[in-house]
Amino acid sequence: MSRFILSLLVLLFGGHLYAQQWAFELWHEGRVVTTDGDTLKGLIKYDIQTDIIQFNYPNTKKVEAFAPRKVMFFEIFDATIRQYRMFFSLPYSPSGTYGALAFFELLTEGKLTLLCREALEYRTYSSPYLYGSFSRLVLVYKYFFMDDKGNIVEYSGKRADLMSRFGRYAPDVERYIRQNRLRLDERNDFIRVIEYYNSFFKS
């Protein structure tokens, strides 16, 4: 295959990624439980970056927006991954003090609860078929840990930081990661690691 064709494929592939729709741009079947105690069932569109969800009332054109202070939690069926996803409104401040409410997706809960927030970022990539590099808009996951006291801290992304949270179980978790060839930068693998750690505390 010629260098020209390979370069063209890379450009086309990159253009396809720009055109794709993200899950938060779509309407999903689901339910919203408000702080007033109401349960609303219908179509939901969420945007974690702005902390706003929109609810489309069934059989009407009425769309209502909700901020975290109006919502206890919401749940959607994400057809893009064919899974149910649940989001909670929780207080968070990077400084550790009581902060404003924000939406967090619950990935797994236990002794150490894993939460997540989505963001779009431009990442720079190099290609063996193109001179220089190119930028691509990608969806990234920012992970957060919540302890059994409700304290939320952002995961730094460093392996040492993660292992320090496992205490005396760190060697067991390290062995589990190696044996199952898990990658901490893969969302589903990361969830499996936290679930394995939490399994030590189940009766």
CB-based contact 35:5 (threshold 8 Å): no
Write down the pLDDT at residue 7: 41
- The average confidence (pLDDT) of the chain is 86
Q: Domain of residue 174: give its range.
A: 156-203
Q: Which of 6-15, 45-54, 101-110, 189-198 has the lowest mean pLDDT?
A: 6-15
Contacts of 179 (CB under 8 A, 6+ apart): none
Kindly indicate the confidence band of residue 17, based on its pLDDT and cuts at 50, 70 and 90: very low
Task: Go through the chain and tell me how many residues it has.
Answer: 203
* Same domain? 120 vs 162: no
**pLDDT per position as a tens digit, 118-128:** 888 877 767 66
Kindly indicate the confidence band of residue 132, based on its pLDDT and cuts at 50, 70 and 90: low
* Same domain? 98 vs 163: no
Which whole-number Å values give the CA distances from 160 to 43, 96, 165, 170, in the listed order? 41, 21, 9, 10
Cα–Cα distance for residue pair 83/153, rounded to 1 Å: 26
Task: Among 115, 135, 152, identify where a domain stops.
Answer: 152
Cα–Cα distance for residue pair 179/189, rounded to 1 Å: 12
Cα–Cα distance for residue pair 113/22, rounded to 1 Å: 25
Write down the pLDDT at residue 131: 64
* Same domain? 53 vs 114: yes
pTM (two decimals): 0.82
**pLDDT per position as a tens digit, 22-39:** 788 899 999 999 999 999
Helix and strand numbers, DSSP H then E, in the chain:
4, 10
Write down the pLDDT at residue 27: 94
* Same domain? 22 vs 119: yes
**pLDDT per position as a tens digit, 90-119:** 998 876 566 789 999 999 999 999 999 988
* Same domain? 19 vs 70: yes
* Same domain? 27 vs 43: yes
CB-based contact 159:178 (threshold 8 Å): no
Whether pLDDT at 8 is above 90 = no
For the residues 60-67, what does the mean pLDDT come to? 92
* Same domain? 14 vs 75: yes
Write down the pLDDT at residue 22: 78
CB-based contact 121:1 (threshold 8 Å): no
Task: Among 114, 135, 152, identify where a domain stops.
Answer: 152
* Same domain? 27 vs 68: yes
Task: Among 152, 168, 187, identify where a domain stops.
Answer: 152
**pLDDT per position as a tens digit, 137-187:** 888 899 999 988 888 999 999 999 999 999 999 999 999 999 999 999 999
* Same domain? 162 vs 142: no
* Same domain? 13 vs 72: yes
Using alpha carbons, select from 190, 179, 188 the residue that is nearest to residue 155.
190
How many C-alpha atoms does 78 have within 13 Å on its Cβ side?
16
Provide the number of structural domains found in the chain.
2
* Same domain? 125 vs 179: no
* Same domain? 70 vs 92: yes
